[in-house]
Copies of this chain bind each other. A is one copy, B any other.
Amino acid sequence: MSETRILSPDDLEAALRQIGAEQYHDKHPFHALLHHGKLNKGQVQAWALNRYCYQAAVPRKDAALLSRTHDIALRREWRHRIEDHDGGGRGNEEGGIERWLVLTTGLGLDASYVVSTKGALPATRFAVEAYVRFVREETLLEAVASSLTELFAPKIHQERISGMLENYEFITDDVMRYFKRRLGQATEDADFALAYVKAHAHTAEQQAAVLNALRFKCSVLWAQLDALYFAYVTPGLVPPGAFVPGKS
């Protein structure tokens, strides 16, 4: 009922921020364990190698978005996200995926094993590919809106940088560079996407779709932490074939 009236752009923003306040994965107990030094190295390894699947999928979902729009201005604005993650431009910049591998290698994982995603939890892959499919198949407006979890990312990145550096002797300043770099990138990207949905979600149906796209994306992130918690914390039931700390 409440989603059938048309919101002002500012009310739409407030509703999006409210979803983040309630559903973003910084509220997940796995993150509290991670940031407060309550995980052992094997559990941090499991988190990092599963999260790699997400990092590696991001350029595919951004390219899917580019492929869908006839709006050259939107394509020009959006395409740097692919470069940010893939790197290797004219200056041969390090991309986000490489920076993530610095973290996993720093944690003692073999890079080729991480890149293969063989040790990742099936639930991780399902969640990540659900995100790619969403961006490929739902409306362009929903595809843009699904990126809006970046509104809430700088806070979690900051918590992660300070919490992990403080609490784990196996985490060094250098391996955290993915998060440091993302602090600025995520803010700019989120500002653009927020302005876009505020300008383009005119009808109550479009606004409801935008809000649901953000809820969907929050669930993509949340489901990954559920799977990590189940496999590596409690009950600690690792699915067949998935990474077993100390054995890979």
Which residues of chain A have a CB within 8 Å of any CB of chain B?
56, 59-61, 63-70, 72-73, 75-76, 79, 82-83, 86-89, 95, 97, 132, 136
A66 lies within 8 A of B70 (CB): no
Chain B residues with CB under 8 A of A97: 72
30 contacts between A and B (CB under 8 A): A56-B70, A59-B66, A59-B72, A59-B75, A60-B66, A60-B68, A60-B69, A60-B70, A63-B63, A63-B64, A63-B65, A63-B67, A64-B64, A64-B67, A66-B66, A66-B67, A66-B82, A67-B67, A67-B132, A67-B136, A72-B95, A73-B88, A75-B82, A75-B86, A76-B87, A76-B88, A76-B89, A79-B82, A79-B83, A79-B86
9 A-B pairs besides A56-B72, A59-B75, A73-B88 with CB distance below 8 A are A60-B68, A60-B69, A61-B67, A63-B75, A72-B86, A72-B97, A76-B86, A79-B82, A79-B83
Copies held by the complex: 2
With a CB–CB cut-off of 8 A, which chain B residues contact A65?
63
Minimum CB–CB distance for A206 against chain B, Å: 22
A60 touches B56 (CB 8 A): no
Q: Is the interface of A mostly helix, strand, loop or mixed?
A: helix
Q: Which residue of B lies closest to A73 (CB)?
A: B88
Closest to A64 in B: B67
Chain B contacts for A56, CB-based, 8 A: 70, 72
Identity of the chain B residue whose Cβ is nearest the Cβ of A87 in the assembled complex: B76
